[in-house]
Homo-oligomer: A and B are copies of this chain.
Amino acid sequence: MLQNEVLLCFAFYSTVLIVKMFVVAIITGQVRLRKKAFANPEDALRNGGLQFCRQDPAVERCRRAHRNDMENIFPFLFLGAIYSLLDPSPAVARMHFLIFCLGRIVHTVAYLLQLRAPTRSLAYSLAQLPCFSMALQILLATTPYCARGWSRQQQHTVELPYRGEGRRKVLLSLCPEDNTRVPPGPKEETRMDRE
């Protein structure tokens, strides 16, 4: 891992965003205490009485911001990790991570401070762009291997002349690029039967 600069960069931005989510969780707890609005009766009992087991608009706002983070940052953690392993250009990869990170930070600030309407949506849309880009690149990179995997199950064995002396049974893959990048699996043995 210490040799993959893109992965290190991805780990940095991802961890910044996870810490940002922890901060939202801490803010939610503080708002609950300040507004005296608890989700559980046992918490309300400890903080003044059962009447404080109630909903509050400020608390719900924090929870919506946190949920939106889960819906978007968690997929980024996965997409970014796979994308980093696909050997992308470091500069382009860094740009993907930075745009997402900035977009999500602006999104949270706009959510919690209740900024005017299109700010939050714009930050959300901006942050989705690198996610869609990475998802597309992953699909483009993995589809051939995945499709090849299925077609391998339709391989046929053919007999070919071998050095003029005999015949050799070989597995005939329907995918000509079969041995280029993935090492042969355990089923791809070639058997030689001299007559």
Copies of the chain in the assembly: 3
In the complex, what distance in Å separates the CA atom of A166 from the CA atom of B16? Answer: 47
Q: Are A64 and B79 in contact (CB under 8 A)?
A: no
Q: Report which of B19, B115, B153 forms a contact with A91, defined as CB distance below 8 A.
A: B153
Q: Beta-carbon contacts of A145-172 to B below 8 Å, as 1s and 0s?
A: 1100110010000000000000000000
Chain A 86-98 interface mask (CB, 8 Å, partner B; 1/0): 1100110010000
Q: Point out the residues of chain B lying under 8 angstroms from A1, CB to CB.
A: 82, 85-86
Interface set, chain A 55-78, CB cutoff 8 A to B: 61, 64, 66, 70-72, 74-75, 77-78
**Size class of the A contact interface (CB-based, 8 Å):** 35 or more
B residues near A11, Cβ cutoff 8 Å:
82, 138, 142
Known: A39-B64, A182-B5. A15 touches B139 (CB 8 A): yes
- Interface status of A176 (Cβ within 8 A of chain B): no
* Cα of A78 to Cα of B70 in the assembled complex, Å: 13
Contact status B42-A142, CB under 8 Å? no
Q: Does A3 contact B (CB under 8 A)?
A: yes
Best-surrounded residue of A41, A79, A139, A142 (most CB of chain B within 10 A): A142
List of B residues within 8 angstroms of A114 by Cβ: 40-42
Pick from B82, B118, B149: contact of A90, CB under 8 Å: B149
Write the chain B residue with the least CB distance to A77.
B78
Residues on the B chain within 8 Å of A141, using CB: 8
CB pair A3 B70 closer than 8 Å: no
Given A64-B40, A131-B22, residue A5 in contact with residue B75 (CB < 8 A): no
The contact sample of 9 A-B pairs, CB cut-off 8 A, is: A1-B85, A2-B181, A8-B142, A12-B145, A15-B82, A15-B139, A66-B71, A77-B78, A90-B149
